[in-house]
Amino acid sequence: MSRVSFAGLLTFALAVPGFGGAFAEPPAAAALDAHGQLANPELQARFERIAKELRCLVCQNESIADSNADLARDLRRQVREMLIAGQSDDAIFKFMTDRYGEFVRFAPPLTPKTALIWGAPFVMLLLGGTIIYRVARQRSRMPLDE
Amino acid sequence: MWKFLLPFAAFVALVVLFVFGLNPSRDIHALPSPLIGKPAPQFALTDVNDPAGVVSNSTLKGQVYVLNVWGTWCAECRVEHEALLAISQQHVVPIIGIDWSIDHGLGERDKAKQWLERLGNPYAQVAFDKEGRTIIDWGVFGAPETFLVDRDGKVIYKFISPMTQEVWEKEFLPRIAAAGKGV
């Protein structure tokens, strides 16, 4: 399967001048199909999940999967290469956070520093629920106007 | 008592949140670098001016140096260029440049050479990051970004935005002095 697509890619690269230099991402070329996706569907699925989870720091509200920025393109290349090299998801996330900090992850892991972010919705829910409960109970005790 | 105190406490909490959160002098794009206090990422790249030459920070051990990431495609790098030239002429510490080729080498090297010939060269050495791998190792997400590395090869400061004389004097010189390199 990968042999066939590699041959196809090679033919394409030879037939279209400039293709090899401009679009192929060289070390990964053998494991990529003609659309630049990972030939192994399992790796491609992991790639898509990881790329969606990493923030493009140039355009901070986009993931590197969605962004057209040059840096996002290079970070996607990095993720693909690490997947092809057999690295785990955790290793890839660690590579990114070691360089760019926890901020590159849209969903940072639960640590004492991020406890507030993860905990706040539940605290709010509890607080709101308590207020509604108390108000409702108080009102049910009040005499009706008419 | 509760009825008044609770809303008031909530109001105070919101004010505090807004004072910090909406403070206009706080740059929301400035991110703390996880590299501070860590060993500087090693690189060995070709020289912008000499494709056969190597520029590596392994030759800078025991020396305080400034590392400046730039590119000819970057307008803000043009803005800081005069300041970098003036700083280099003070000969405090060497400035190492990394020319970030966002197009993976297509023409950036020649443009960089022309840029340095035409505008002057503030760099002791300029490395050519053809594939944008070294800048990822340094956690760079835009240009210009400027780092300060101490004698032990540790990153001690990162400045995002165009360098100015004022920033140099306020942020860099004191740190260089503290790192043991007299001004």
Q: How confident is the model at residue B8 (pLDDT cuts 50, 70, 90)?
A: very high
Pairing of strands B145-149, B44-47: unpaired
pLDDT of residue B130: 94
Coil, strand or helix: which one is B119?
Answer: helix
Check pLDDT > 50 for residue B183.
no
Per-residue pLDDT reduced to its tens digit, B77-107:
999 999 999 999 999 999 999 999 998 877 9
Q: Which residue of A has its CA nearest to B139?
A: A99
Identify the DSSP state of A93.
H
pLDDT of residue B27: 66
Distance CA A19, CA A57 (A): 28
Q: What count of other Cβ atoms lies within 10 Å of the Cβ of residue A62?
A: 15
Distance CA B182, CA B180 (A): 6
The answer to whether B104 and A65 have CB atoms below 8 angstroms apart is: no
How far CA B157 is from CA of A27, A98, B56, B83, in Å, comes to: 33, 16, 20, 18
Q: Which residues does chain A have with pLDDT short of 70? A: 1-30, 145-146
Domains of chain B and CATH, by start: 35-178 (3.40.30.10)
Neighbour-count burial of A119, counting CB atoms closer than 10 A to its CB (0-12 exposed, 13-18 middle, 19+ buried): exposed
Enumerate residues 11 to 70 of chain B having a beta carbon within 8 A of any beta carbon in chain A: 29, 31-35
pLDDT of residue A26: 47
| For residue A143, cis peptide bond before it (omega within 30 degrees of 0) | no
pLDDT of residue A108: 79
Distance CA B36, CA A101 (A): 11
How far CA A79 is from CA of A38, A46, A123, A133, in Å, comes to: 11, 10, 36, 49
pTM given for the model: 0.77
With CB atoms and an 8 Å threshold, state whether B133 touches A22.
Answer: no
Check pLDDT > 60 for residue B167.
yes
With CB atoms and an 8 Å threshold, state whether B139 touches A78.
Answer: no
Rounded to 5°, the CA angle A66-A70-A76 comes to 55
Give me the interface pTM, i.e. the ipTM. Answer: 0.84
Distance from CA of B25 to the nearest CA of A (A): 19
DSSP H/E element including A8:
helix A2-15
For B143, list phi and psi in degrees, rounded to 5. Answer: -130, 150
Q: Which residue of A has its CA nearest to B104?
A: A22
Residue that has been written with the tokens 């105070």 in this structure: B12
Per-residue pLDDT reduced to its tens digit, B119-156:
999 999 999 999 999 999 999 998 999 999 999 999 99
Q: Which of B34, B103, B141 sits opposite A58 (nearest CB)?
A: B141
pLDDT of residue A15: 38
The answer to whether A9 and A24 have CB atoms below 8 angstroms apart is: yes
Residue that has been written with the tokens 């956070």 in this structure: A97
Distance from CA of B71 to the nearest CA of A (A): 13
Per-residue pLDDT reduced to its tens digit, B33-78:
899 999 999 999 999 999 999 999 999 989 999 999 999 999 999 9
Enumerate residues 120 to 139 of chain B having a beta carbon within 8 A of any beta carbon in chain A: 131-133, 136-139
